[in-house]
Amino acid sequence: MANVKYDDWSWHTGGVFPADQPQINGFTHIGMYLVWLIRHDLSNPARHDSREVSEVKAGTITAHDLAEAIDGKLTADDMAPDGKAFSDWYYSPEGNPAYLADWANTFRNQPNYSVGDSPETYARIERVIDARFEQWTAAGRPITWALPAGSQSRVRSVKLIAAVGMLIGLALAVISVLVPAAGARGFLTATGIVILVASATIYRRAGRW
């Protein structure tokens, strides 16, 4: 599977960005999340070696310092399997809960992109992410699907196909009532139900990508 990109610094600075804020602040929320992953041993050791992990945990490498190391992009390559599974559930604009929404709510009294890189910033968002991780764990670590970067059009396509699938499944189930042969009727009914359930599941999961 292609590498999944959860966020990109350029997504936050490529459009209208506050002229009175340093552009590195567009990376703050990304860096803070990566710091959380590293400090909770949920980062990929092949991507973030023991020296970097030790320095992040000691605070000598902070959120903004990680921007160059990951080229401003938070991807699945930065994460251990549990870190990716959690991020698939939490780091999604359409998720509920969603990290970006939690970030905005945590710093709601500050202007956009005014949150800098500081221990106080990390302490505030760490408590929020910790609570979400506990929520995810308590829910049985639900699995959601994530798609590669730039795939929003694919999400819409998948949802459209899934919606068509639900209609086909429902139609087969309805048509089966009109079929006189019991064997054919049972086959159509079973097929319709399978297509309907599978399509509904795909549609629901696509809403979390």
- What pLDDT is recorded for position 94? 61
Q: For residue 31, with 0-12 CB atoms within 10 Å meaning exposed, 13-18 middle and 19 or more buried, which class applies?
A: buried
Residue 209 has pLDDT above 50, yes or no: no
- The confidence band for 208, taking pLDDT boundaries of 50, 70 and 90, is very low
* Predicted structure pTM score: 0.69
Q: What is the dihedral of CA 38, 39, 41, 42, to 10 degrees?
A: -50
- What pLDDT is recorded for position 129? 98
The per-residue pLDDT for range 62-77, each reduced to its tens digit, is 999 999 999 999 999 9
Helices in the chain by DSSP H: which ranges?
9-13, 28-39, 50-58, 66-69, 81-90, 99-106, 119-138, 152-176, 182-206
The per-residue pLDDT for range 15-69, each reduced to its tens digit, is 778 889 999 999 999 999 999 999 999 999 999 989 999 999 999 999 999 999 9
The per-residue pLDDT for range 111-149, each reduced to its tens digit, is 989 999 999 999 999 999 999 999 999 999 987 655 444
